[in-house]
Structure 1
Amino acid sequence: MSRPRITIDTFARNSAERLDGPSTYFINKASRGNDEAKRDLAKLSTTRTLYIGNLSFYTTEEQIFELFSKAGSIARIIMGLDRIKGTPCGFCFVEYESHRDTLHALRYLQDSYLDERAISIDLDSGFVEGRQYGRGYFGGQIQDQDRSNDDPCRGGWGQRYYN
C-alpha cells in the first residue's frame, strides 16, 4: 500500500483545525522553497520527536519524564545544554516509542506548566547529535542572550548582562 503524499498545502489546510499538525514555523520555513525544510516538513508526518521549549534552567530530566510519560512510552529525553558550560539552557527533545504517542503529547500537553512555566511543544523532524547545544553567542539559547529582564524561573538575566 502506498502512503499518501503529504505536501505543505495538506498541512496548511488541516493544521488550523488540528492540534497535532506542524507549527507555522515549519510550514513557513518549507514554503520559502528550501528543499531541506520541505524534507523536514515531510518527516513530521512520522516523527517520534518533540521539541519542548520555555523550560526553566532548573527543570530536571525526571520532571520532564514524569509529565511526558503520561502521553505514552518515552524512548529518550535529550536535554538542551549550554555549549560552553554544559548546563541546561531551557529546552529539550522528547523522543517517543511511536508517532501516535508523540501526537498524544502534542495534543494534550501543549500549554502545560512545568516548574511554574508555560512550556511550548512542537513536532520536531528528529534529533541529530549536536542539536542539544544552544546556538547563542554565549553558549545558551539565542532568545536568552539579549534578555534584559531578570527571569529567576528561567535562569536569571540574559547572558549579555553577565559578561
Structure 2
Amino acid sequence: MALLFKDPSKISAYRDRRFPGTQEEFEHALVTSTTVYVGNMSFYTTEEQVYELFSRTGEIKKIIMGLDKNTKTPCGFCFVLYYSREDTEDACKYISGTILDDRPIRVDFDWGFQEGRQWGRGRSGGQVRDEYRTDYDPGRGGYGKLVQKELEVQRQLVDYGAGSLGSFPPVIPTSYGRHGGGGGHGHGGSHRHGRDYYRKRHRDDERHTHESSKRTSDHESRRNTDHESRPEKNPRFRESGDSDEDEEDDRKRRA
C-alpha cells in the first residue's frame, strides 16, 4: 500500500555544510530539533499564509521568512519553529507535499535556526537552485538568474541594433540649385526648393527673351522711321559729299 504521508523516522540525506559539528552531531540535531525547513515556496507567499497552514499541527513559536540578501524580499523558503518535537514531526508528516499558494511545498527537519541562515546563498542573492534553473516558474521570478542574464544581454543587443539603425538621419534627395550641389543652408536643400528654383529660372529666361525680342523690334522700327523721315535728295542742290566733276558732267548733259 502506498504511503500517503512522510515517514518522520527517516532523516533527510541533505547535509548542511554550514553546520559547525560532525556528521553524528548533525544527525542528532535533526532527531531532536523543533524546527522545520519549508522549501519550494512561491516568492509571493506571505508569513500569514505560512502561519495559517502550519498552525494546524501545533503551536508555532516563530516563523522566519527566507530573504534575498540583495533585495531583502522573500525568495521561496522559510523556517517554522515549534514548541514541541511532536508538533514538528506532525508538520513533516502531514504538511509536506501539500499545496500552499498553488504550489506543492517540501517540509524537512532542520538542525535549528541561527542568525544569518535567513539569507539566500546564491550568487545573485536568492537560493542556489534559482541560479541554474532553466525552466520558467512564474511563482519564483520566471527563469533562473543565469537564463535571465542571457536574455537581458540579448535584449540589449536587439535594442542597440534598433538604436543604431535609428541613429542615422534619413536620406534627403539633393537638388542642384543656385548654391551648387548643396542646394540649401547646411542641410542639402530640398526637392521643392530645387523645383521652385528651376521654375523661377525658366520665368527669368522667358522674360529675358521677351525683352530682347522687344528691344530688337523697337530698334528695327526706329531704323525704318528714320529712313522714311529722311528727305529725298534735290538734284539742283549739291550735297556736301558731291564733287565738281559730277557737277560739270551734269551741265554737259543738260546742254
- What range is the shorter-chain TM-score in? 0.7 to 0.9
Q: Which of 60, 65, 83 in structure 1 is aligned with 2:46? A: 60
Pick the structure with more helix per residue. 2
- 2:180 is the counterpart of 1:161: no
1:57 and 1:94 mapped to 2: Cα distance? 17
- 2:97 is the counterpart of 1:111: yes
1:22 and 1:82 mapped to 2: Cα distance? 30
Q: Is the 8 A contact 2:11 2:31 kept in 1?
A: no
1:152 corresponds to which residue? 138
1:92 and 1:131 mapped to 2: Cα distance? 10
- 2:111 is the counterpart of 1:125: yes
1:24 and 1:72 mapped to 2: Cα distance? 22
State the one-letter code of the partner of 2:60.
Answer: I
Q: Is the 8 A contact 1:22 1:44 kept in 2?
A: no
1:71 corresponds to which residue? 57
Pick the structure with more strand per residue. 1
State the one-letter code of the partner of 1:105.
Answer: A
2:207 corresponds to which residue? none
1:46 corresponds to which residue? 32
User: What is the aligned length?
Assistant: 142
2:78 and 2:111 mapped to 1: Cα distance? 14
State the one-letter code of the partner of 1:112.
Answer: T
1:85 corresponds to which residue? 71
1:106 and 1:24 mapped to 2: Cα distance? 11
| Residue aligned with 2:23, SS | helix
2:49 and 2:57 mapped to 1: Cα distance? 14
Tell me the CA shift for residue 18 of structure 1: 6.7
1:58 and 1:22 mapped to 2: Cα distance? 30
Q: Is the 8 A contact 1:22 1:122 kept in 2?
A: no
2:129 corresponds to which residue? 143
1:96 and 1:121 mapped to 2: Cα distance? 13
Unaligned runs of 5+ in 1: 1-16
1:102 corresponds to which residue? 88
* Percent of pairs with identical residues: 46
Q: Which of 5, 8, 18 in structure 2 is aligned with 1:20? A: 8
Q: Is the 8 A contact 2:34 2:82 kept in 1?
A: yes
Structure with higher Rg: it is 2
State the one-letter code of the partner of 1:102.
Answer: T
1:71 and 1:93 mapped to 2: Cα distance? 15
Q: CA RMSD in A?
A: 2.0
Q: Could you say if the C-alpha distance between residues 136 and 18 of structure 1 is closer, same or farther in structure 2, counting changes exceeding 3 Å?
A: closer
| Residue aligned with 2:32, SS | coil
Tell me the CA shift for residue 21 of structure 1: 2.6
1:24 and 1:95 mapped to 2: Cα distance? 18
TM-score by length of 2: 0.52
